[in-house]
Amino acid sequence: MTDLLDNPETTTVEAMLVRGEKLFNEAQIYFGHGTTNAWDEAVYLLSHVLDLPPDADRSLLGHPLSATQQSAVLALYKRRIEERIPAPYLTGRAWFCGLPFTVDQRVIIPRSPIAELVFNRFYPWCDQEPQRILDLCCGSGCIGIACAYAFEASDVVVSDISPEALSIAQLNIAEHELDSRVRAVQSDLFAGLAGETFDLIVSNPPYVDARDLAEMPDEYQHEPELALASGDDGLDFTRRLLREALEYLGEAGVLVVEVGNSWVALEKAFPKVPFLWLEFSEGDAGVFVLTKEQLSEHRESFF
């Protein structure tokens, strides 16, 4: 890598991308923070240096790169490989629901399949347009902010226990000029939301079980552990959430929660609860819907 940095030979955008693809494949870096392959990873980093939009035209492939641009791209490739830092932490920018978000290591990198639900405006789970929405465990605020775009008349609360995460969420709210409709609240679960009710509570909480946590690739070590770990079976947080959510849902309220691989443990823990597991176009799993009515009917299961 040092030779590569000292003596950049590549001259075009395409050649630099081919080089990145080869280097990333050889180094066997892990993808899972916005891209799924070495070529896209190289595009992500190079686009940042050239300040290109994500949908930049392919005609740019033949463009020459200056020596400064080549050095800047190669420096990012090097850090990506040697330090295993996910690309969005290197660029400070991630994309969710087609929207840009500022990120750094105080928040996880947005990647929830819930994006697809937001795109589809939670059809058919929200009979009526939700007026009050809570993004519980908001991290960067990506889900709540995307909801505010999807439901233009809604008021949104984004909450997180971490003041560091909330400062990033606040930054994103300001960058999207949504201060009048999106409010960031520090809260351990619902503790800071007493007396409030919501038509839609959506949450991508910590849900990684102890075994998965121990086996996660190096890239995940750059993300806050508070955002990932949730006890032996990954359900410490979700158990609390299921006990308390009812009180914070309005009439006809809906709860949407991501639990990833921990869905198996959740089914086992609450066999009588009719979790509705959603299907996603990319094949993701582990997101359930429960209505207020269902939570109420099964409230005793959660204690």
Ligand X SMILES: C[S@@+](CC[C@H](N)C(=O)[O-])C[C@H]1O[C@@H](n2cnc3c(N)ncnc32)[C@H](O)[C@@H]1O
The smaller minimum CB distance to ligand X, of residues 47 and 204, is found at 204
Closest CB to ligand X among residues 17, 169:
169
Number of H helices, E strands in the chain: 12, 9
Query: What CA–CA distance (Å, rounded) separates 167 from 148?
Result: 18
60 touches ligand X by CB under 6 A:
no
Indicate which single residue of 10, 35, 47, 112 sits in contact with ligand X (rule: CB under 6 A): 112
Q: Give the residue with the Cβ less far from ligand X, 70 or 187.
A: 187
Choose between 191 and 252: whose C-beta lies nearer to ligand X: 191
User: Which residues ranging from 218 to 237 are in contact with ligand X (CB under 6 A)?
Assistant: 226-227, 237
DSSP letters, 100-139, are EEE--TTSPPP--THHHHHHTTTTTT-SS--SEEEEES-T
CB 132 within 8 A of CB 99: no
Does 113 engage in binding with ligand X (CB under 6 A)?
Answer: no
Asked whether position 156 contacts ligand X by CB under 6 A, the answer is no
Q: By the 8 A CB rule, do 20 and 41 touch?
A: yes
204 forms part of the interface with ligand X (CB under 6 A): yes
For residue 40, give the H/E element and its range. Answer: helix 38-50
Please tell me the number of Cα atoms within 13 Å of 70 on its side-chain side: 19
Residues 249-288 that bind ligand X (CB under 6 A): none
Which one, of 50, 54, 20, 60, lies nearest residue 37 by Cα? 20
Residue of the chain from 43, 45, 156, 165 that contacts ligand X (CB under 6 A): 165
Instruction: Work out whether 188 is an interface residue with ligand X (CB under 6 A).
Output: yes
* Nearby residues of 149 by Cβ (< 8 Å), 6 or more positions away: 97, 99, 176
Between 73 and 168, whose beta carbon lies closer to ligand X? 168
Strands (E), the chain: 93-96, 99-102, 132-136, 155-160, 182-186, 198-203, 249-258, 276-277, 287-291
Token look-up 């058919």 returns 124
DSSP SS3 for 182: strand
Least CB distance to ligand X at residue 110 (A): 4
Give the nearest distance from C-beta 79 to ligand X in angstroms.
22
Residue closest to ligand X when measured from CB atoms: 139
Q: Indicate whether 138 belongs to the interface with ligand X (CB under 6 A).
A: yes
- Of the pair 26, 188, the CB lying nearest ligand X is at 188
Q: Which stretch binds ligand X (CB under 6 A): 67-75, 102-110, 149-157, 259-267?
A: 102-110
Q: Which is nearer to ligand X, 135 or 199 (CB)?
A: 135
SS3 of 235, please?
Answer: coil
- Residue 139 touching ligand X (CB under 6 A): yes
Q: CB 211 → ligand X: shortest distance, Å?
A: 17
Report how many residues bind ligand X under the rule CB under 6 A. Answer: 22
Q: Which of 4, 8, 6, 15 is nearest to 64 (CA)?
A: 15
The verdict on 162 binding ligand X (CB under 6 A) reads yes
**Site of interaction with ligand X (CB under 6 A):** 107-108, 110, 112, 137-140, 142-143, 160-162, 165, 188-189, 204-206, 226-227, 237
